[in-house]
Amino acid sequence: MSALPDFPELRFPNGIDAQAFLVRYWQRQPLLMRQALPDFENPLPSDELAGLACEPDVESRIILERAEQGPWQVQHGPFDSERFATLPPSHWTLLVQDVDKHIPEIGALLERFDFLPRWRIDDLMVSHAEDQGSVGPHVDDYDVFLIQAEGRRRWRITTAPEQPLDLIPDLEIRILQQFQASQEWLLEPGDILYLPPGVPHWGIAEGPCQTWSVGLRAPAWRELADDWLAQVADRFTPPGRWQDRSLTPPLDPAELDQDSIKAMRSRIESGIATAGADAFAAWLGSWLTEPKLNLELESRQPSWAEVEVIAALKASQRFERDGRSRLLFAAPVAADAQASLFANGQHHSLSAELLPLLSLLANRQTLELEQVGSWLRDPAARRLITDLFNAGHYWLPEGKEP
């Protein structure tokens, strides 16, 4: 990256603002946003993206169309740097996930999407395609903002209800067997196409191009229930097992009697009822900030004492947040309850007086002494900053690490 990117403010078209976008388009219908990021200059050269795809903790794929071996080939990274020299001159795409976390300066673009709650944003995926490269016509389960970062890509979409959604069988990627576009646009740098979930789309590069996808996250009820109920089972289910000291001979030994059914059910449901709103909120925040395995932070070894961390903050004036740090905060669920900070799956329970600090920490990529200075008188705030620092959320600015 040549210089620190300074991303333009996001502009909605036709005089609409974020509020109107959410009411009219969000989760409802596609919106083409011409020059939504005016004068967008791509800060990420494609060879740097290819370099990222060679690193062990980076999730990447190359999708090749019409290679001799079959219609759609998927290869998973990390790649050898020589791999890129052997690719054909057209019809392929390199896709790199979580670029926001690997290059936090690029991740700063997500601040332009602050009209959405941060927990709803999954990642920034960046793709480089050579001429005619595409990942085929497909449907995504999530909302996506497709930002044209460099070069041109022709997007075709269909909103026709009769569009069949059958997939080409036996492929590793989900590609629609048939696709009949109802609208198409050629996107230029700075243009954005917003698509709600479930809209079939197909973007084909016209010449080499780079596309940034801001992908949203919408947990499936099933995944939430699976994990929450496992928590309830672990933490709130009464100990022991079935007992029936007052058993009398059954009328019919083959019958599963109503009393046993009711007793079993009420014991299990009492566990769910015991887990209160605070336990649910604590679990949800931890679940939502839990990183993927390849995005875990490295904790500081050996850990620093609180006085050392605070002295380092005072000396360097600021800490930089690791791109993989995911912080969310929550207000107390009731007047007498604690506030929460969720940090990569860890739950910190804190006094509600600390809420402004929690918001500051969760919102900023840089922890400025100037902004947090007055909080450092509070022992709980010092403890929290020390814990986050030792867990790997914060680094000293470049050149200041001992």
- Residue 240 one-letter amino acid: G
Q: Which is nearer to Co ion, 140 or 296 (CB)?
A: 140
Q: How far is the CB of 163 from ligand SIN (least distance, A)?
A: 16
Closer residue to ligand SIN, CB minimum distance, 197 or 373: 197
**Nearest CB to ligand SIN, comparing residues 149 and 309:** 149
As a whole number of angstroms, the longest Cα–Cα distance in the chain is 83
**Cβ of residue 185: shortest distance to Co ion, in angstroms?**
15
β-bridge pairing 192-195 and 144-157 = antiparallel
Q: In angstroms, what is the minimal distance from the CB of 101 to ligand SIN?
A: 18
CB atoms within 10 A of CB 280: 15
Calpha distance 65→133 (Å, rounded): 7
- For the bound state, the minimum distance from the C-beta of residue 91 to ligand SIN, rounded and expressed in Å, comes to 12
Give the Cα separation of 402 and 399 in Å (integer).
8
Residue from the set 203, 285, 323, 392 that interacts with ligand SIN by CB under 6 A: 203
Task: Supply the minimum distance, in Å, between the C-beta of residue 356 and ligand SIN.
Answer: 38
CA count, 13 A, side-chain hemisphere, 248: 3
In this structure, the number of other CB atoms found within 10 A of the CB of residue 107 comes to 19
The helix, strand and coil proportions of the chain, stated in percent and rounded to the nearest 5, come to 30, 25, 45
Angle at 125 between CA 122 and CA 126, to 5 degrees: 160
Q: Report the DSSP beta bridge partners of residue 129.
A: 93, 209
Element (H, E) at 58: none
**137 near ligand SIN, judged by CB under 6 A:** no
Q: Does 144 help bind ligand SIN (rule: CB under 6 A)? A: yes
Pairing mode, if any, of strands 144-157 and 366-368? unpaired
Which residues of the chain form contacts with Co ion (CB under 5 A)? 140
Q: CA 253, CA 178: separation in Å to the nearest integer?
A: 58
Whose Cβ is closer to Co ion: residue 139's or residue 297's?
139
Among 42, 60, 127, 390, binds ligand SIN (CB under 6 A): 127
Choose, by CB under 6 A, the member of 42, 211, 325, 386 that binds ligand SIN: 211
User: Is the CB of 144 or the CB of 297 nearer to ligand SIN?
Assistant: 144
Q: Which of residues 80-109 bind ligand SIN (CB under 6 A)?
A: 93
**C-beta of 321: minimal distance to ligand SIN in Å?**
27
CB closer to Co ion out of 142 and 236: 142
Sites of contact with ligand SIN (CB under 6 A)? 93, 127, 129, 135, 140, 144, 201, 203, 211, 213
